[in-house]
A = this chain, B = another copy of it.
Amino acid sequence: MSEPLRLGIAGLGTVGIGLVKLIRDNAELIEGRAGRKVVISAVSARDQSRDRGVALDGYAWETDPVALARRDDVDVYVELMGGDSGPAKDSIEAAIAAGKDVVTANKALLAHHGQALAEAAEAKGRVIRYEAAVAGGIPVIKALTEGLAGNRITRVMGVMNGTCNYILTRMQSAGLPYDTVFEEARQLGYLEADPNLDVGGIDAGHKLSILSSIAFGTQVDFDNVELEGIGAITIEDIEAAEDMGFRIKLLGVSQMTGRGLEQRMSPCLVPATSPLGQLAGGTNMVVIEGDAVGQIVLRGPGAGAGPTASAVIADVIDIARNFRMPVFGRPASMLNKARSARAAVSAPYYLRMNLLDKPGALAKIAGALGEAGISIDRMRQYGHADTAAPVLFVTHKTTRSAIDTALGAFAATGVLLGAPVALRIEMV
């Protein structure tokens, strides 16, 4: 039996404490599977005096995570503080420089500095593992880097922000408007301190950019994720989508096209009966498509102490087993800069607008669509009590730029009340 693997854990919030408990509760099981003991040498957090509900006095305490990362009695530095710069970045860099392996749950850091960190780690022969950074407890990094490693990946999709999915499914099930459910989510503690990280799609976009790198062998390129949040989705959209057999999800899609890599994180319509359409509440789902395997769907909890600790300890056990590989599955030096292809992939679109009740109004809109080269698959006009008639279109496949052209033309018609809504339909 080898020497114990010694951890230094920085960050003792919900996840950090969840990890400490898991390592204690399942110590024997972890040793059996890892082939050696996994022990905690030292921990780090700002406030040592706070009662965190678990005894920590068996571990050395460091106030400074950089000092923790450099300790001689630490083999693996576990970073659970978060943040795309500052102490998280400094301490991981210090750990690598000191020859430690790293496990982190930090999607923002990897989305912004993944390439540089991977190069630094690989130059020192160290690994950085981050299963917990994407889709919580779902072993999706492992599925992409290992389980489907022989596949040419063609598309990766995912609902990877549980808060947004909670908001959208709660709006639907309770028939409540966005603002009300957003406030509920805030009171339940589901939202980040900066809620735009959630509802603006940024957090999920970070995750998508990491998956893209592994899937397509490109450098992480978060800046080219087309981001669109869920703040403009109304209960009317949700009900109209349902009426046509769709659900609205904040969906990430990453796809290598002839023109380059397209990465989108935006509200999309998906078929109501598809696995993505059926996904309710805070659960996450990732769909991976490869040339050999076809389609694989992974579903599970995207956040929380237990699921996140489960992902972190899996990375630790892999290190204990001496499973070592490049950070993004291929050597960082071999990862190409992605050529970004925004809006490259055509799709059907859902369009919703309120038409003024004037003769010829619908003809003007239909004309604008035709001039933009967009053909109509389905149209519905609903009964109305006031001066505006809600109208829905589902188009045949078209491009985002054609949609933008049409939206511009709509504005010039003078027959719209308010702004129209255009959402992509992703066939899954």
Does any Cβ of B come within 8 Å of A238's Cβ?
Answer: no
A293:B137 contact, CB within 8 angstroms:
yes
A279 CB to closest chain B CB (Å) equals: 9
Known: A149-B33, A275-B278, A330-B32. A301 touches B309 (CB 8 A): no
Chain B residues closer than 8 Å to A347, beta-carbon distance: none
Does any Cβ of B come within 8 Å of A138's Cβ?
Answer: yes
Tell which of A22-30, A195-203, A374-382 binds the partner. A22-30
Which B-chain residue is minimally distant from A142 (CB atoms)?
Answer: B147
A182 CB to closest chain B CB (Å) equals: 25
A148:B314 contact, CB within 8 angstroms:
yes
A70 CB to closest chain B CB (Å) equals: 26
Encode contact with B along A295-325: 1 for CB under 8 Å, 0 otherwise. Answer: 1111111001011011101101110010111
Which B-chain residue is minimally distant from A34 (CB atoms)?
Answer: B149
- The contact sample of 23 A-B pairs, CB cut-off 8 A, is A18-B292, A26-B150, A29-B152, A29-B217, A32-B330, A35-B325, A35-B326, A137-B294, A139-B143, A143-B147, A146-B146, A148-B314, A149-B318, A150-B313, A150-B314, A150-B317, A291-B306, A292-B309, A294-B301, A294-B306, A295-B300, A296-B299, A321-B323
Residue numbers of A with Cβ under 8 A of B are 18, 22, 25-26, 29-30, 32-35, 131, 137-139, 142-143, 145-152, 217, 273, 275, 278, 290-301, 304, 306-307, 309-311, 313-314, 316-318, 321, 323-326, 329-331, 334
